[in-house]
Amino acid sequence: MNASADSRASKLAALLAARVVPVLRYTDASAAAYAAEVAVAAGCTTLELTWTIPGVTDLLRALRDKHGDALLLGVGTVLDESQAREALVAGADFLVSPALATEAVDMAHAAGALCLLGAFTPTEVLAARRAGVDMVKIFPADTGGPKHLAALKSVYPDTVFCPTGGVTVDNMGAYFAAGASIVGIGSNLYDKAAFAARDTAALVKQIIQTREAAHA
């Protein structure tokens, strides 16, 4: 195994061990930075920072400077080569696309990073597999729900799936039972009132409960 493949293998193991990936989708950079620190305080070891965050690569670098390699940091909503390249230069450990941005796969792997492509249909899952993805993101997950994921898993039993979009602490157990290896949770990870009030203690407690439920 070469160094790049070895790096990807260790990152994949860390990602799978997390079980829950906070997906930070904000249009305000300070809100995203606060959400990131809350997640870290709650014991999260991996974060997905979406491209909607203004200066997302600056936030990635800031988190890396502060937390080092203790955090697995990814950039999501990657749609083209330019975004993929910028994220990788900033030090992203993994790239996530909501669609079949297949050009990102080889770029990520060359940098020792992982790549998760979005798919929804059996045909799209096959295309993602053929592109060499490390994991398939089922998005939007709640459109088809756990039954849809279970159907995909039945024909692609060796594919690692990460449903994202509409996943909550209440329904994630059904997704795991249907074959999810990990789940991505966005705004549902943070109580809206507590977040607006910057009630860090309440938010940390909520995320810890979600993480514990994912590992139960």
Per-residue pLDDT of the chain (216 residues; tens, 9 = 90+): 577 788 899 999 999 999 999 999 999 999 999 999 999 999 999 999 999 999 999 999 999 999 999 999 999 999 999 999 999 999 999 999 999 999 999 999 999 999 999 999 999 999 999 999 999 999 999 999 999 999 999 999 999 999 999 999 999 999 999 999 999 999 999 999 999 999 999 999 999 999 999 998
Question: So what's the pLDDT on residue 4?
Answer: 79
DSSP per position, 153-213: HHH-TT--EEEBSS--TTTHHHHHHHTBS-EEE-GGGS-HHHHHTT-HHHHHHHHHHHHHH
Rounded CA separation 183/30 (Å): 25
Side by side, the strands of the sheet bearing 135-138 are 161-163, 135-138, 114-119, 94-96, 72-76, 46-50, 20-24, 183-185
Question: So what's the pLDDT on residue 1?
Answer: 56
Could you tell me which of 86, 59, 73, 62 has the C-alpha nearest to residue 15?
Answer: 73
The CATH number of residue 94's host domain is: 3.20.20.70
Residue ranges making up the domain that contains 172: 3-214
pLDDT in tens, 147-204: 999 999 999 999 999 999 999 999 999 999 999 999 999 999 999 999 999 999 999 9
Give the count of domains, the chain: 1
pTM reported for the whole predicted model: 0.96
Q: How many angstroms separate the Cα of 137 from the Cα of each of 152, 178, 212?
A: 12, 14, 22
Residue labelled with tokens 């990788």: 88
